[in-house]
Amino acid sequence: MTIHSVQTNKIVTQLIFTVFVFVYTFGFSFVSFVQAASLTNLSDALNTQSASTSANHTLVFTTPTGVASGGTIILTFSSSATAPTIHSSLTYTDIDVLDDGVDLTLASTPSGATAGVVRTSATVITFTNGSSPITAGSVVTFKIGTNATNQSTGVFGITSGTAGTLYVSITGSFGDTGVMSVPILSNSAVAVSATVDETLSFSVSDATIFFGNLSSSFACFAQGSDPGDTTCPTTSEAEAFSMAAHTNSPTGYTLTVQGATLTSGLNTITALPANTNSSAGSEQFGMRLTQSGGSGAVTAPYAASGYAYTATSSTSAQVASATVATTTDTYSVRYITNISSSTEAGSYSTTQTFVATANF
Amino acid sequence: MHLLYHPVNHNHNMKNNFSIVVALMLIGMPLHVVYAALSCSLTTSALCSGTVVLRLSGSDNAHAELPSQATAVYDSNVICCSGVTGLGNSCSGNYGVLAKLSGVTNAHVEENTESNYGQNACLSSVYAGDIITIGYESVDCTGYDTTVASMSGTPTNAQAGGPSAYTNKICADIFSQAISFTVSDNTIGFGSLSSSALRYATGDGTGSSTQTEAFNMTVNTNAPYGYILTVQGDTLTSGGNTITAIGGTNTTPTAGTNRFGIRATATGGSGAVSSPYSASGFAYAGTTTTASTLASASTGDDVTTTYSVRSVATIEQVLPAGSYTTTLTFVATPTF
Given the DSSP bridges, would you call strands B259-267 and B244-245 parallel, antiparallel or unpaired?
A: parallel
Whole-angstrom Cα distance, residue B195 to residue A74? 56
pLDDT at B14: 36
CB contact under 8 A, B317 and A328: yes
Nearest to B325 among A32, A36, A193 (CB): A193
**Residue in B21, B187, B333 closest to A43 by CB:** B333
d(Cα B40, Cα B52) in Å, to the nearest integer?
9
Q: What is the mean pLDDT of residues A175-184?
A: 95
Task: Name the maximum alpha-carbon separation found in chain A.
Answer: 151
Q: In this predicted structure, what is the pLDDT of residue B159?
A: 98
For residue range A117-153, what is the model confidence (pLDDT) as tens digits? 999 999 999 999 999 999 999 999 999 999 999 999 9
Q: Distance between CA atoms of A171 and A177, rounded to whole angstroms?
A: 5
Instruction: Identify the CA nearest to A179 among candidates B36, B90, B127, B4.
Output: B127
Q: Which residues of A304-336 are buried (b: 16+ CB within 10 A; e: fewer)?
A: eebbbbbbeeeebbbbbbbebbbbbbbbbbbbb
pTM of the model: 0.81
Between B12-28 and A2-36, two packed helices, what is the crossing angle to 10 degrees? 20
Q: Which residues neighbour A183 within 8 Å (Cβ) at sequence distance 6 or greater?
A: A49, A165, A166, B179, B180, B181, B332
Give the C-alpha separation, B270 to A152, whole Å.
Answer: 40
Q: Provide the 10 A C-beta neighbour count for residue B103.
A: 15
Rounded Cα distance between B68 and A247, Å, is 81
The C-alpha R_g of chain B, in whole angstroms, comes to 29
Q: Which of A38, A196, A324 sits opposite B315 (nearest CB)?
A: A196
Tell me what the pLDDT averaged over chain A comes to.
Answer: 91
Residue A339 has, within 13 A of its CA and on its CB side, a CA count of 24
Å from A149 to nearest chain B CA?
13
Across the A:B interface, residue pairs with CB atoms under 8 Å apart total 207
DSSP A295: S
Whether residue A17 is predicted with pLDDT greater than 50 in this model: the reply is: no
Q: CA-to-CA distance for A155 and A28, rounded, in angstroms? A: 44
Q: With contact defined as beta carbons under 8 Å apart, do B238 and A192 qualify?
A: no
Question: Widest CA span of chain B, in angstroms?
Answer: 90
Is residue B19 classed as helix, strand or coil in its secondary structure? helix
Integer Cα distance of A347 and A210 in angstroms:
11
- pLDDT tens for A34-75 read 334 799 999 999 999 999 999 999 999 999 999 999 999 999
Min distance A196 CA to chain B CA atoms (Å): 5
C-beta atoms surrounding A245 within 10 Å? 28
CB–CB contact B28 A24 (8 Å): yes
Q: Please state the rounded mean pLDDT for residues A269-283.
A: 98
Task: Return d(Cα B67, Cα A112) in angstroms, integer.
Answer: 49
Question: Do residue B128 and residue A28 have CB atoms under 8 angstroms apart?
Answer: no
Rounded Cα–Cα distance for residues A105 and A107 (Å): 7
Q: Residue B278: what are its φ and ψ, rounded to 5°?
A: -90, -20
Q: Distance between CA atoms of A26 and B17, rounded to whole angstroms?
A: 17
**Distance in angstroms (rounded) separating the CA atoms of residues A257 and B330:** 54
Measure CB to CB from residue A194 to each of B179, B313, B318 and give the nearest one.
B313
Closest by Cβ to A190, choosing from B17, B183, B323 = B183
> Mutate which of A38, A193, A360 to disrupt the B interface (most B C-beta within 10 Å)?
A193
Residues of chain B with pLDDT under 70: 1-36
pLDDT digits (tens, 9 = 90+) for A199-246: 999 999 999 999 999 999 999 999 999 999 999 999 999 999 999 999
The string of DSSP letters for B44-59 reads: -TTT--SEEEEEESSS
Between CA B34 and CA A114 the distance in angstroms is 41
Distance from CA of A111 to the nearest CA of B (A): 32
Nearest residue of chain B to residue A170 (CA atoms): B128
Mean pLDDT score, A178-186: 96
CA distance B223 to chain A (A): 9
Q: Distance (Å, rounded) from C-alpha B110 to C-alpha B119? A: 10
The tens digit of pLDDT for each residue in A315-338 reads 999 999 999 999 999 999 999 999
Determine whether the interchain pair B329/A50 forms a contact, defined as Cβ–Cβ distance below 8 Å: yes
Interchain proximity B2–A194, CB inside 8 Å: no
pLDDT in tens, A90-114: 999 999 999 999 999 999 999 999 9
Give the integer Cα–Cα distance in Å for B106 and B101.
9
pLDDT of A13 strictly over 60: no
Decide: helix, strand or coil at residue B20: helix
